[in-house]
Structure formats: structure tokens, C-alpha cells
Amino acid sequence: MIRFILMALLFIVVIAVTPMLIGEKGYILIAMANWTIESTVVTGIIMLVLSFLALLVLIKVFRGGFKFGSLAWHKVVFAGRRKAQREFHQGIAAYLLKDYPQAEQLMAKCAESSGQEKLAWLVAASAASKQIDNKNAASNSAHYLKLIAEAKANDKTNNKIMSLESVLITADLFIHQQAYHQARKVIDDNHKLIGHDARLLSVEIDLCIIEKRYQTAADYLVSARKQKTLGANKINAWENVIFTALFNEQIKAFDQQHLHNYWQKLAKKVKQRETVLLAYCQVLAANNLFEPLNKLLLPALKKEASAEFLKQLRGLAIKNAEALITTVQKHLQKQPQSNKWLSALAHLASGSEQWSMADKAFNALLKLGESCYDKQDLLAYAQLQQRQGNYQQANELLMKINNTNAK
């Protein structure tokens, strides 16, 4: 092909130069009906060659060049979408790099043209909510969530159901904005997903606690305990908040007997959970119901109670705890160097105003070493020394607490 073009160019040059050398350019006269066309030989030949080349180009286009033409057309028409997709990817990268202002700007800019409109608005809303220093963060995030709702309502396809991840992020953003009614609507519209995913179940329980729907939250705890991905610490924290609120509701709305009846109606497995038992004990202690409290704790202390459970009991300030003290002393006869039972005895004796016994227990506990006691033990011992008039010893204990905090 290249050889042919070179030969054609050489032929044109020869034709153009030859008339100049002989001083005669030559003319062509073409007559068609009433039309007469007159031209030089050089011009005629050049036009003929150009026409021939144009014919070759047309043949190339119609035989194999149409594919090239459609590709070029696609590049021109969809240039805006490709730019939006590029900005979408840049926005995702900015979000992962925690450059939230840049991520919000890119996502808001490319949302309508990227082909991922809902996801782009969702990332923009999340990025806006994470800008703590931005005064308009909450309003911007709410605006993007509104655009998501509008896009969902205007969606003419069958893709109106939000994905699980979108539900999680949207509900979390509404909760962060304290728009609890809208968060509830998002979860209720996708209630079939609850129980199938631990993350959504977690959001549902948190929202129920916020809405003070404690009994509903307690019902969801049955499913939460079956989820392997939900840690024990998180479930224990939920149980403490939920059951403390439920027990308080019973005694405030009714009386002590209703509280007792509610406790008795709980399943045996639930009552045996230390977190639930501790919540019940805290409510009893807060309302000065020490007689049922002592009866309840006595079986728990006769068993090998966990150190964490005994630590939680220290803040109850149980009075008239002679039976509990006797039980703890029996454990100490078998395990005299047990720091958890020494701590329990010291706090029970202090709550019962048996100062001498409490002082001996605290003193024995401190002799075991720093790893065997904590700040709460030191603070209780300092208060005991202050009651007894030993202000210097109390001050030394408080100084030890400050030194521990400094470390």
C-alpha cells in the first residue's frame, strides 16, 4: 500500500513538472450538454488521483472500518460517563485514605453520571458525617440521604430493594444524626434481613435501646447470643443496659412484688447469666431491698463465682451481709491467698460497717502485690482509713492511686 502511494505521488510530480519543462501545460476540455469544463492536464490528473484515493477510503470504511467508526462514536458520546467513573474511583480512594472532604466532593460530583448513583450518594453522606470540624456536616449528610430516597422512589427498575450494606450504612447515619424515626423506617422496610446478618441485628438492638423498647431488645438478645460474630462483651453490655431498664420499669411503674414476679418469670438460663443477675442486684440495692438481695446472692457466692462478677458486686454497698460474709470466709479458708475473695470480704465488711474485719481484709489484699488489687480497692481502703481517723494512711493510699494513674 505504501509502495502504491509513493508511486502515485511520483507520477503526479512527473506530470506536474513535465509541462513546465516543455513550456506547454496542456488543457482538457469536457463538454456535457450545456456544461463545459476546462482545466489543465495537471489539475485534471490530480483530481483523478484524489478521487481514486477517496474511493479507496470509502471501500475501506464500508468493508472493515465501521467498527473503528463505532468505537470513535462511543468515545465521544460516553466521555462524560468515563470521567464520572474515574471520579467515582478517586472518591472511593479518598474515603479509604480518610480524606473525607475530597471524597464528599468527588462523590457528589459524579453521582448522577457514574452509573452508581445510590452508592455514590451513600459514600458522600458517610464522608460528610465524618467531618467533625464542618458545621454543615449534618445537613449535608441529611441532604445526600434525601437524594438516595428520591433516587430509590424514581427507580423504574426492580432494583428498589436496598442492599444489606446500604441498609446498614443508611441506618447508622440516621442514628448518628439522631433521626431515629427515619432509621426505624429504613430497618422496618428491610426487616426480613434481621436475623440473617449479625450487623443488622446489632443496629436493631441499639435502636431499640435508644427508643426505650427494652422488651423488644430483650427478645432480640435470644438471636444475638446465637451469632458467633457478636462478641461476649458486646452482648453483656446490652444485657446490663436492657435488663437494668426492665427491672427499673417494674419497680417504678408498679411495686416490689411486680419486680419479684417479673424476675421469677424469666427463663432459668437467663437468670443464671451473671450480667442479668448483677443488673437485678443493682436495682435491688438502689431501692434498699437488701433482704431479697442477700437471699439472691447467697447461692451465687456459694458457687465458684467469677472474679469479674465479684468485682461488680463491690459497688453495691450491701448492708446486713452477715450470711454473705460467712460464705466468703469459707472460701478463704480453702484459698487464703485468693485476691478475689479477699477483695469481696473487704468490701462486704465495709458495707456492713464491720471496720475491723474490712481493715484486715484490705491489708491482707495489699500484701499480695500490686497485681492483686485495683484502684477501686485502694479507694475503698482509703475511705475506710479516713472514717477511722487515719488521715495519713488514707492520703498515702490516694497518692498510690495517683501514681497508678500516672503510669
- The grid cell for 41 is 492536464
pLDDT for res 76: 47
pLDDT for res 62: 67
Own/partner pairs for 347-351, CB < 8 Å, 24+ apart?
347/313, 347/314, 347/380, 348/318, 348/321, 348/324, 349/325, 350/380, 350/383, 350/384, 351/316, 351/317, 351/318, 351/319, 351/321
pLDDT for res 73: 46
Across the 407 residues of the chain, what is the mean pLDDT of every consecutive 10-residue run?
A: 68 64 63 74 72 76 54 53 82 85 86 79 84 80 79 59 72 84 84 72 90 91 86 89 92 84 88 86 84 82 79 77 86 86 87 86 86 85 86 85 65
pLDDT for res 208: 92
Q: How far is CA 88 from CA 110, 116, 296, in A?
A: 6, 9, 60
Residues 237, 228: Cα–Cα separation, whole Å: 16
Residues 29, 38: Cα–Cα separation, whole Å: 5
Q: How many whole angstroms from its chain centre is CA 104?
A: 17
List CB contacts of 100: < 8 A, sequence separation 6 or more.
94, 127, 128, 130, 131
φ, ψ of residue 280 in degrees (nearest 5): -65, -40
Q: How far is CA 77 from CA 12, 72, 161, in A?
A: 40, 9, 31
Is the CB of residue 283 less than 8 Å from the CB of residue 276?
Answer: no
pLDDT for res 64: 56
pLDDT for res 75: 53
pLDDT for res 405: 60
Is the CB of residue 108 less than 8 Å from the CB of residue 95?
Answer: no
Q: Which residue has the cell 419486680?
A: 259
